[in-house]
Amino acid sequence: MPLTIANAAPPRAIVNIGKIQDSLKRVVFETATRLLAIGVVAGFIAWWWMGGCYKVVSKEQREERAAEMAAEMGEKPAEAAAEAAV
């Protein structure tokens, strides 16, 4: 069979460059995916430690915090406002 353009094999350099590019794409994608996963886990841990988790507190603690927040905002505490309305 005579050698023509249709059945000629590509030069080895072109084949190797294609393999290198495919490997490089895979490595870049895997690295980006791992960095994203690490960032998600780190973000969740930071959110958790900054008070993002649900905490069960007693009624007294909730009332104390509500009074503190009202004082910071310059408002009357909820108990004093409720007593004044009665």
pTM beyond 0.85: no
> Mind listing the pLDDT tens digit of every residue in the chain (86 residues)?
555 666 666 666 566 777 778 888 999 999 999 999 999 999 999 988 887 777 778 899 989 988 888 888 887 655 555 554 44
Parent domain of 22: 10-53
Q: Same domain, yes or no, for 42 and 71?
A: no
Residue 2 lies in a domain: no
Tokens of 43: 């973000």
Residue 85 lies in a domain: yes
Residue 74 lies in a domain: yes
Question: Can you tell me the distance from the alpha carbon of 74 to that of 65, in angstroms, rounded to the nearest whole number?
Answer: 14
What is Dmax (Cα atoms) for the chain? 106
Question: Can you tell me the distance from the alpha carbon of 21 to that of 58, in angstroms, rounded to the nearest whole number?
Answer: 60
Tokens 């490595």, residue?
A: 27
